[in-house]
Amino acid sequence: MRRGLPWSRLYLVVTLLALGVFATGVLARPDGDAWGVFYDLVLYNLVYLGGLGVCVQAARRGRAERVAWAGMATALVLGIAANVVYTTVIARMPDEPFPSIADAFYLAYYGGVYVMLVGLVRSRVPRFHPSMWLDGLIGALGAAAVAAAVLLGPALELTEGTMAAVVTSLAYPLADVVLLALLVAGTAIFGIRRDRALQLVGAGILITLVGDVVYLNLATQGVYVEGGPLDLTWLVGVSLTAVAAHVSRPADHRPEPGSDASSRVGWRVLAVPLACNVAALLVLAVGWGDQVSPIAGWSAVGTVLAALARTAITFREVRAFNEVRQQALTDELTGMPNRRALLEHAGRVLSGTTARRPAALLLLDLDGFKEVNDSLGHHAGDDLLRQVGPRLRGALRSGDLLARLGGDEFAVLLEEAGLDEAQDRAERLRQLLLQPFTVEGIRLHVGVSIGVATAPVPAATVQELLRCADIAMYAAKAGREGVHVYVPDPHGGTGDRLRTMEELRTALTRDDELLVHLQPQVDLTDGRVVGVEALVRWNHPTRGLLSPAQLLPAAEQAGLLRPLTDTVLELSLRAVAGWWESARVPVSVNLSAANVSDLDLPSKVALALVRYGLPAQALTLELVEDTLMGDPERGRTVLGQLRRLGVRTSIDDYGTGYSSLAYLRSLPADELKLDRSLTQDVGRDPRAAAIVRHTVALAHDLGLSLVAEGVEDAPTAAVLAELGCDVAQGYAIARPMPVDDFLTWLATPRPFLLEQARP
C-alpha cells in the first residue's frame, strides 16, 4: 500500500462528512448561537482541515507534486485562519471594518492555489516547447479577457470608500481573473487529456469562481446573506481539490501525445487555445468602444496576437514533423528507403494482393562484403553500399520499392509480380551486381545471394513474407545458388530451424530454460577431481532437454553465440561458487570465435569472478584453433589479458586443426585437450599411441598440461597414464550431469579409475 494512503483516506472522509453535515443547514438551520458556531466555525473549517490533511499526505507521497500540494496545504491554512478571524472577531463587531486582517488571509489564500496550479503543470510536463508557452499564453489572455469582462464590471461598482477599501475590492476579482487565467493556461498546455486529478482541481476552481461571481453580484445589490447555499460553492471547491490530492499518483503520470513531442497539432491540444481565441474575439466584438474594461480589451488583443504567433509555430512544427518522418523512413548512408519504409509499404501492398494480383519480395545479401571492409576499411564499404542503389534502379519499375535493411542487406518489393517474374527479376539484379564496382580507384567484384518469396501464397502477412525471403536467402547463400525461391518444406525443416532460433533468443532472456551439465576431469596419477567442463543444455518448454548438437547450430546461425557463452559463463561460475569453499574444483567453459574477438571479454570475466567471490584459478576458458582464424591478433590480445588476470586457457579438440604446431608457438595457453579421435584407439593402435606420446612430450616441453578427452573405459585410461597424460575426461569417469547430481557425485567415495584396470 502506498505511503500515507490510509491517513489520506481518513482525512478525505472527514472532509466529505463535514461538507454533508454543513449542507443540512444552508436552508433550515436550527436557531441559537451555538448552532451558528457549530455550522460556521466548526463544520465550515472542518472541511478545510480535512482537505489540509489530504494535501499534506499528498505532498509527502511523491516528490514530483510536493510543491503543488504543499502550496495548496498552505492556502488551506490561510483559509482556516481567515475563516476563524472573520467568524470570531470581525463578524461580531458592530461595524465590520473593511479591509480587515481576514481579507489579508483571504487574499493570501490565492497565492497557495497559484503555487498548486503551477506545480501540477510542472510535474506533468518534463520539457516545454515554444508552442506550449504560446498555448499557455493564449489560454491565460483569453481567460483573462472573459473573466475581466464578467468580473471587473461589478467590482468597479464597489470602489467607493477609502483607498484601502478600493484596492481590496479590486484585489478579489483580479485574483480570480489570474486564477482562471492560470487554470486555462495549464489546460491549454496539456490539451484535453484524461487526468482525474487535473479534472477535479479544474472543477473545484471553476465552482469557486462561480461562487465569487455570484457573491460579487449579490454584494453589489446588498442582498448577500452568510450561511446560505452560496457558501457551499467554496466548500465544494475545497472538497474537490482534496479528492484530487487523494487520487493523484505522480508515478502514474506519463507524457501523452502533444505533451512532449516535436509536433503538437492534434485537436486535443488545439481545442482550448482555439476556444480562447474565439472568446477573445467575442469580447472585442461585444465590447467595441467603451463597453469593456481596458484589462479585458488588451487581454483579448494579446490573445489574438499570440494566436497568430502560434499559427506560425504550428506551420514550422508540421514541417519539422514531416522532415523527421521522412528521415525515419530513409537510410542515412544510402538515401534509400529503410526497413521501416519497407514494412509500411509492404503492409499497404499486401492488403490488396490476391491470387491474380500477387506480390513478391527479393531479399539480397552481398557476398564478400566483409572482406572489403577488412581490407580497405569501412569507408570503402560504405562507398560500395552507396553504389548498389543506382545500379539496381534501372532494372526496376516505377512502382517497385528498393530498400536497404541494414548492413549489406537490401530488399526489393515487386507489386503485381508472380513467382516466375520475380525469379527473372532476381536473376537480372544478380547479374548487375556481379559486374565490377570501382571503389577508391580499385575494381572490386562482390557476389550476391537473393531469396525470393511471394504473397499471398505462401506468405499472407508482411512478417511471413520477410521470414520466407530470409529463409530462401540463407538457402541461396548456403548452396551458393545465387537465387533461391522459397518453397514450403512439408517436413518443416527450415521453418523448425528458424523457430528454434527465435525461441533461443527468448530463452536467453529467461532464467529457467538454459542450464549447464558438468563432466568431471580426474588426475591420472591419484584420481583426484581436478576440474569439470560445463556443457550447455536447453530445457525447452515443449521439446524437452536439447543437447549442444541441437542448440549450437541455431545459435550460430542466429548470431547468438556470444550471448549464449556469456550465459553459460554466468551459470558455470554460479555453480562453482556453491562448492568452492569445500572443494577447489575449477570449471572449464568453451568460447566461440565471437567471444575470443570480444575485447570486453576480460572485463566481463573479471566482474563475474568478483560477483561470485571466486579467484581466477576457479575458471578455465577453452577454445578451438579455428576460433582465432577470423582475427588472430585480436584473439591473442584477448587471451593474453585473460591470462594476466590469472584465468587459465585451454586449446580444445587439439589434433583436429590444420595449424596446431604453428598455434602452439604463439598462442597463450596453459592446457591442451586431446580430441577423442586420437585417444579412443590408443590401446590397440600403435600409431595412435605414438602420436599421443609425442604430443604429451611436446606439451610438457612447452609447459602445458595435457587432458585426454573421450576416455570411455579404465584400460584406455591406464594406457593414457603410461603415455604421460595428466588428466582424463570421459564416460569412464562420469557422463555430463546436472549441478546437483555432480555435487552428490563429488561427495561420494569411489575407487581410483586406474585401480579398475589392474588385473
Exposure of 754 by Cβ count < 10 A (0-12 exposed, 13-18 middle, 19+ buried)?
buried
Q: Rounded to the nearest 5 degrees, what angle is found at the Cα of 369, between the Cα atoms of 366 and 370?
A: 135
3-class SS letters over 310-357: HHHHHHHHHHHHHHHHHHHCECCCCCCECHHHHHHHHHHHHCCCCCCC
Task: Tell me the percentage of the chain whose pLDDT exceeds 70.
Answer: 74
Average pLDDT, the chain: 79
| Higher pLDDT among residues 597 and 301, named by residue | 597
From the list 557, 342, 367, 346, the residue with the least C-alpha distance to 476 is 367
Annotate 82-121 with b (16+ C-beta within 10 A) or e (fewer): bbbbbbeebeeeeeeeebbebbebbbbbbebbbbbbbbbb
Residue range 391-396: mean pLDDT, rounded: 90
C-alpha 324/C-alpha 194 separation (Å) is 28
Backbone dihedral angles phi then psi of residue 261, each to the nearest 5 degrees? -130, 160
C-alpha 447/C-alpha 429 separation (Å) is 11
From the list 311, 310, 286, the residue with the least C-alpha distance to 300 is 286
Cβ pair 96, 164 in contact under 8 A: no
Residue range 734-757: mean pLDDT, rounded: 84
Residue at grid coordinates 585473460? 642
Can you say whether the dihedral through the CA atoms of 710, 713, 718, 719 is positive or negative? negative
Q: What is the DSSP letter of 125?
A: -
C-alpha 205/C-alpha 185 separation (Å) is 13
C-alpha 540/C-alpha 547 separation (Å) is 10
pLDDT, tens only, 249-291: 755 454 444 444 444 445 455 555 556 556 655 665 665 555 5
pLDDT for res 618: 94
In a 13 Å sphere around the CA of 193, the CA atoms on its Cβ side amount to 22
* Parallel/antiparallel/unpaired status of strands 401-406 and 409-414: antiparallel
Cβ pair 589, 568 in contact under 8 A: yes
Region of poorest pLDDT, from 35-39, 430-434, 570-574: 35-39
pLDDT, tens only, 17-53: 988 888 887 766 676 667 667 777 888 889 899 989 9
Cα dihedral 472→478→482→486 (10° resolution): -20
Annotate 153-186 with b (16+ C-beta within 10 A) or e (fewer): bbbeebeeeeeebeebbebbbbbbbbbbbbbbbb
pLDDT for res 502: 77
Residue range 402-417: mean pLDDT, rounded: 91
Cβ pair 283, 298 in contact under 8 A: no
C-alpha 415/C-alpha 129 separation (Å) is 42
Task: Tell me the percentage of the chain whose pLDDT exceeds 90.
Answer: 22
C-alpha 546/C-alpha 175 separation (Å) is 75
Q: What is the DSSP letter of 26?
A: T
Region of poorest pLDDT, from 182-191, 203-212, 326-335, 436-445: 182-191
pLDDT of 330 over the 50 cut? yes
Region of poorest pLDDT, from 64-78, 487-501, 715-729: 487-501
pLDDT for res 598: 78
**Which of 73-82, 297-306, 545-554 has the largest mean confidence?**
73-82
From the list 149, 213, 141, 142, the residue with the least C-alpha distance to 176 is 213
User: How many other C-beta atoms lie within 10 A of the C-beta of residue 21?
Assistant: 15
Region of poorest pLDDT, from 146-150, 246-250, 352-356, 494-498: 494-498
pLDDT for res 706: 92
CA distances (Å), 123 to each of 60, 63, 133, 248, 250, in order?
15, 9, 16, 11, 8
From the list 184, 215, 227, 214, the residue with the least C-alpha distance to 31 is 227
Give 676's contacts (C-beta < 8 A, 6+ positions apart).
709, 710, 730
The helix (run of H) or strand (run of E) holding residue 707 is: strand 705-708
Cβ pair 530, 725 in contact under 8 A: no
Backbone dihedral angles phi then psi of residue 712, each to the nearest 5 degrees? -110, -5
> What angle, 0 to 180 degrees and rounded to 10, lies between the N-to-C axes of helices 196-221 and 101-124?
150
The helix (run of H) or strand (run of E) holding residue 470 is: helix 462-479
Region of poorest pLDDT, from 44-58, 312-326, 551-565: 312-326
Write out the DSSP string of 416-462. Answer: T--HHHHHHHHHHHHHHHHS-EEETTEEE--EEEEEEEEETTT--SH
pLDDT, tens only, 644-690: 899 998 888 776 654 456 666 667 788 888 888 788 888 888 888 99
Cβ pair 412, 392 in contact under 8 A: yes
* Parallel/antiparallel/unpaired status of strands 587-590 and 529-540: parallel
Cβ pair 532, 522 in contact under 8 A: no
> What angle, 0 to 180 degrees and rounded to 10, lies between the N-to-C axes of helices 493-507 and 462-479?
110
Q: What is the DSSP letter of 91?
A: G
Q: What is the DSSP letter of 724?
A: T
C-alpha 729/C-alpha 710 separation (Å) is 6
Write out the DSSP string of 630-696. Answer: S-HHHHHHHHHHHHHHT-EEEEEEETSSS-HHHHHHHS--SEEEE-HHHHTTTTT-HHHHHHHHHHH
Give 28's contacts (C-beta < 8 A, 6+ positions apart).
none
pLDDT of 589 over the 50 cut? yes
Phi-psi category of 198—alpha, beta or left, where left has phi over 0 and alpha has psi -120 to 50?
Answer: alpha
Residue type, 577: A
Residue at grid coordinates 503555487? 115
Cβ pair 234, 22 in contact under 8 A: no
Cβ pair 8, 57 in contact under 8 A: yes
| Higher pLDDT among residues 747 and 176, named by residue | 747
pLDDT for res 136: 59
Cβ pair 515, 570 in contact under 8 A: no
pLDDT, tens only, 243-254: 988 888 755 454
pLDDT for res 258: 41
CA distances (Å), 390 to each of 281, 339, 384, 417, 441, in order?
56, 18, 11, 22, 18
| Higher pLDDT among residues 752 and 136, named by residue | 752
